Amino acid sequence: MNAVTLAKPVYAFLLSVLLGGHTSGSADVKYIPVTDSRGIFNVVYDNATGSKFVVRITDQDGNQIYQGTFSDKKFSRNFQLADPEGYSRLVFEIRSLGDHTSQRFEVETQTHLIEDVTVREVQ
């Protein structure tokens, strides 16, 4: 008897976050998967001085997706994209308006098709 096993194609999203720029506070961007094709980006910023800062999100072409000005000392906000599959690269920038320093996070998404096929002969 011959056996053939076919696994359903599975799409895996790989995200790499790169930190760049000068830092005044302590910022972090994390990706939290919710479903197979959707997730939430959690942005945390420790703004000890309470000065105003800007959070800006741009796409792979430099188009602005979001911008907001805040002055929270302990900033934590979740962002979810309406069409996450439409972006291959996102840039999260946190810029302090007090001392003009910034932190920049680049998020790159790659989709890989994983297919597992097993063929074996059973005797």
Q: Which residue has the tokens 């930190």?
A: 19
pLDDT of residue 5: 36
pLDDT of residue 66: 93
Q: Answer whether residue 100 shows pLDDT above 60.
A: yes
Least Cα distance to 13 among 42, 43, 33, 41 occurs for 33
What does pTM read for this prediction?
Answer: 0.69
DSSP assignment letter at 85: G
For the stretch 47-67, pLDDT in tens is 999 999 999 999 889 999 999
Q: Answer whether residue 6 shows pLDDT above 50.
A: no
34, two tokens: 């919710």
Q: What CATH number was assigned to the domain covering residues 15-108?
A: 2.60.40.10
Mean per-residue pLDDT of the chain = 78
Question: Can you tell me the distance from the alpha carbon of 14 to that of 65, in angstroms, rounded to the nearest whole number?
Answer: 21
Are the C-beta atoms of residues 13 and 111 closer than 8 Å to each other? yes
